[in-house]
Amino acid sequence: MTLLLSVVIPTKNEQENVAPLVERLHAALRGLPYEIVFVDDSDDETPQAIRGLAGSYPVRLIARSGKERSGGLAGAVVEGMKRSEGEYICVLDADLQHPPDQIQGLLIKAREGEADMVIASRYRQGGSPEGLDGWRRNAISRACKWLAHVLLLGADRRLSDPLSGFFLVRRSLVASSNLRPIGYKIGLEILVRLQPRQVAEMPYEFAVRQSGRSKASLREGAVFLAHLLRLRREVPRPRSLPQSGSLAVEGKQGSDGAATLSLREYVIAKLKGSTTFVKFAIVGSLGYLVNQFFLFLVYDSPVLWFLPAKGTSVTILFVTYTDVRLLIAIVAGVEAAILSNFFWHNIWTFTDRTERLPMPLRFVTFHLTSIGSPIISGTTVAILAPRFGVNVYLANSLGIALGMFCNWVWNAQVIWRKGKEPL
């Protein structure tokens, strides 16, 4: 009988995990012609445990030693794929982070959708990356994914989990290929080097490791970077990858078209997308200059000779102002900046969005937010510096950034909110 499925499992010091894993696999794959191929680089009792299972289950062991181990995890997977026999190959970790009961689903998807590769995804809707212990592993995982997209897969995000270690491929895809992976990301190697015609994704819940320890480390991070750069260097990247309609992903599907951008193209595309924000920042900087200029004009220049002289004190409603000319100058500076900002935002920054709120309402709300922004930055300094001992200038910078951010959100989302695109 020809084998339908080979389950390839790399192991390194997983003695506690292999027996429960094989039992769960057997329960999940009952009735299918399958085999399990362990490729082991352990220094503990894992090989003995695997041999013990071989009597009762269709289990094979490839035990590696010395130099054979140099390719690490990815090398082990390639070796397992080469020496297995099934029409489809499923790769998963030994630590029960990848649920065996999902394999049938991957297989069905591959056969029905005629996909060469089906990736089990932590990040597609319905899946979960919960097993990544701690926010640090989570952040690292997302950063690695981002890098892989930017450097290799293109900026559009059709694949939600290209770094998944849990996937299924058709043997014909990998059979005569020259894979040379280093590190952990064998799935990425297959995606980039073999450019499968059809790739599908299926969500799954990444579980926490059953027992034993993760072998991921800072060194693996460096190896990952080296792997990315090597793929970038060695694999010519077509402009459009894969062809239109060839990615059958579950759930939301991204736009088709160029999937592979160079880093430069990616940065330019990003910048183009953010021109509104750049204009917003330029207008804000101009407002700062206008404010300073009016402060000077009113307070120091001789033009407004009719105003009270510097240092004139005045009492209004029981409050005494020691320098009423300065007060007028501050108000004039702030108001001039607000008017300048409003004018430029209206005719330049948000020029394509002016239809939403009626002009007078826009004008009034803009005044309120313009005053709100210095209140936010002032409050931030007043709280952070004395209470938390943050350096005053650092606190001020944070406050200004926060004020500007709130201002931006309010302006872009409320005052000049984008209208719906006309059909």
Ligand X SMILES: Nc1nc2c(ncn2[C@@H]2O[C@H](COP(=O)(O)OP(=O)(O)O)[C@@H](O)[C@H]2O)c(=O)[nH]1
DSSP class of residue 102 equals: G
Q: For residue 76, state whether it binds ligand X (rule: CB under 6 A).
A: yes
- E strand or H helix that includes residue 35: strand 34-40
Count Cβ atoms below 10 Å from residue 293 Cβ, excluding itself: 15
Site map 56..95 versus Mg ion, x via CB under 5 A? -------------------------------------x-x
Positive/negative CA dihedral, 218, 219, 220, 224: positive
Among residues 40 and 95, whose Cβ is nearest to Mg ion? 95
Partner from ligand X, Mg ion, none binding residue 223, C-beta < 5-8 Å depending on class: none
Q: For residue 10, state whether it binds ligand X (rule: CB under 6 A).
A: yes
Q: Which of 79, 160, 95 is nearest to 123 (CA)?
A: 160
Number of amino acids touching Mg ion (CB under 5 A): 3
Q: For residue 216, state whether it binds ligand X (rule: CB under 6 A).
A: yes
Residues ≥6 apart with Cβ < 8 Å to 357: 365, 415, 417
* Rounded-to-10 torsion of CA 199, 266, 354, 338: 140
Q: For residue 97, state whether it binds Mg ion (rule: CB under 5 A).
A: yes
CA geometry: angle at 402 spanning 397 and 405, to 5°?
Answer: 125
Q: What would the two tokens of residue 387 be?
A: 């209470």
Residue of minimal CB distance from ligand X? 214
Among residues 26 and 356, whose Cβ is nearest to ligand X? 26
Q: What is the DSSP string of 165-179?
A: S-EEEEHHHHTT---
| Least distance between ligand X and beta carbon 89 (Å) | 16
Q: For residue 11, state whether it binds ligand X (rule: CB under 6 A).
A: yes
Among residues 128 and 246, whose Cβ is nearest to ligand X? 128
26-45 residues in contact with ligand X (CB under 6 A) are 39-41
Site map 85..124 versus ligand X, x via CB under 6 A? --------xxx-x---------------------------
| Least distance between ligand X and beta carbon 289 (Å) | 52
Q: Is 100 helix (H, G, I), strand (E, B) or coil?
A: helix
- Cβ atoms of residues 39 and 62 within 8 Å: yes
Q: What would the two tokens of residue 213 be?
A: 């320890």
Number of amino acids touching ligand X (CB under 6 A): 17
Tokens 């394999």 sit at which residue? 103
Positive/negative CA dihedral, 30, 34, 39, 44: positive
- Cβ atoms of residues 182 and 71 within 8 Å: yes
| Least distance between ligand X and beta carbon 239 (Å) | 33
| Least distance between ligand X and beta carbon 135 (Å) | 15
Tokens 């320890």 sit at which residue? 213
Q: For residue 12, state whether it binds ligand X (rule: CB under 6 A).
A: yes
Q: Is 33 helix (H, G, I), strand (E, B) or coil?
A: coil
Q: For residue 14, state whether it binds Mg ion (rule: CB under 5 A).
A: no
Exactly one of 47, 72, 154, 399 binds ligand X (CB under 6 A); that residue is 72
Q: For residue 215, state whether it binds ligand X (rule: CB under 6 A).
A: yes
Q: How far apart are CA 377 and CA 110, in angstroms?
A: 55
Q: For residue 73, state whether it binds ligand X (rule: CB under 6 A).
A: yes
Q: For residue 349, state whether it binds Mg ion (rule: CB under 5 A).
A: no
| Least distance between ligand X and beta carbon 125 (Å) | 22
Interacting residues with ligand X (CB under 6 A): 10-12, 14, 39-41, 72-73, 76, 93-95, 97, 214-216
Interacting residues with Mg ion (CB under 5 A): 93, 95, 97
